[in-house]
Chains A and B, each alone.
Chain A
Amino acid sequence: MQSLDMTPAALLPADWRDFLALTKPRVMSLVVFSGVCGLLAAPAMPPFALGFTAILCIALGAGACGALNQWYEVEIDARMRRTAGRPLPAGRMSRDSALHFGVGLAVFSVLLMGVATNWLAAALLAVSILFYVLVYTVWLKPRTAQNIVIGGAAGAFPPLIGWVAATGHFAALPLFLFAIIFLWTPPHFWALSLFIRSDYAAAGIPMLPVVAGARTTRRHIFFYSLPMALAAVAPWLLGLTGPLYGIAATGLSTLFIVLAARVLSNRATEPSEMRPEKKLFAYSVVYLFALFGALVADRWIVW
């Protein structure tokens, strides 16, 4: 694992832009957005500086996860086209620099969260970072096709952390937000892994399409989208949100199921013929943004 350390480029001090790239800024945007929505959906609003700091800590925690993930998976990243240009596999940074940066960022984000908001939110942030790095990246991802099912919990923490940072306690609604992202993650990643299956196979990662084939994966995508839709509509059915969210959740989730059904009926094995899968993957990102946006609009505009 240390062989990539001694490339000539790694002996230079790494460029600061490469440290930024380690944090996976694009992945971070969805994490930050769901954290902001969790915070804004809470019944109590903290002062702006504290709310801003809470979101900053969630973003820094997510950045730490990205850095530690890349530190651990440098050899896997080097074997995948999609990730071969990252700072570590490309030899632009030493592994130790990435490790120190990731651990430092993680510790800093948790301490700042505790000082600025409350220690329950800080503990949740610490659990989410440890879960992502140790349970998902180190334990599940290289070992089981169910990696994304359990590992999805790591990405489901931000709205819960945002809510707890604002209120200091748990409630039913943020637990539903947790459940929505938890159930959304498998169909989202399985749709992606269907059309980049060869990348995962080359890297030796046992994603579902690699281990069980496209047909089983398509069935899983469809059947996971059903409880996900139920979790999305449940807060409205239980009276935790207003009609704006209810209508949005029903419409968005119905479309999700329709697109998942198209994936189910597709028989293609070549990535170039996997339009339904690509469509579902793209829509799944829009779905989460729109659903959480509707929740905040419902809380601030209508309800």
Chain B
Amino acid sequence: MSADDELIRKRQRDRALVMALLLGAFVILMFFITVAKTGLNW
């Protein structure tokens, strides 16, 4: 694997990781939005 290929793989891995974290945060945010909108107390 050339240095360029390695750099491409590393960038892809980093971006996938950031995307996964953002999607996880979005799911948690939607959960709390739903709780707030429905007026549930827990």
Contact residues of A with B, CB < 8 Å? 12-16, 46-50, 53, 56, 115-116
Please indicate the chain A residues that have their CB under 8 angstroms from the CB of B36 in the complex.
Answer: 46-50
Interface residues contributed by chain B, number (CB under 8 Å): 14
Please indicate the chain B residues that have their CB under 8 angstroms from the CB of A47 in the complex.
Answer: 36
Please tell me if the beta carbons of A49 and B35 are within 8 angstroms of each other in the complex: yes
Chain A nearest CB from B4 CB (Å) reads 8
**Most-contacted residue by chain A among B7, B14, B33, B37 (CB, 10 A):** B33
Sample of 16 more A-B contacts, CB < 8 Å, known A12-B4, A16-B18, A49-B36 = A12-B11, A13-B15, A15-B11, A15-B14, A16-B14, A46-B36, A48-B36, A49-B29, A49-B32, A50-B36, A50-B37, A53-B29, A56-B29, A115-B33, A116-B33, A116-B37
Please indicate the chain B residues that have their CB under 8 angstroms from the CB of A56 in the complex.
Answer: 29
Enumerate the 7 nearest inter-chain pairs by beta-carbon distance, A residue then B residue, closest first: A49-B32, A47-B36, A49-B36, A13-B11, A16-B18, A116-B33, A50-B36
Contact residues of B with A, CB < 8 Å? 4, 7-8, 11-12, 14-15, 18, 29, 32-33, 35-37
Chain B nearest CB from A268 CB (Å) reads 46
Please indicate the chain B residues that have their CB under 8 angstroms from the CB of A116 in the complex.
Answer: 33, 37
Q: How many A-B residue pairs have CB under 8 A?
A: 31
With A49-B29, A53-B29 in contact, is A13–B12 under 8 Å at CB?
yes
Please indicate the chain A residues that have their CB under 8 angstroms from the CB of B37 in the complex.
Answer: 50, 116
Please tell me if the beta carbons of B33 and A53 are within 8 angstroms of each other in the complex: yes
**Most-contacted residue by chain A among B4, B14, B18, B36 (CB, 10 A):** B36
Complexed CA–CA distance, A129 and B38 (Å): 30
Please indicate the chain A residues that have their CB under 8 angstroms from the CB of B8 in the complex.
Answer: 12-13
Chain B nearest CB from A31 CB (Å) reads 20
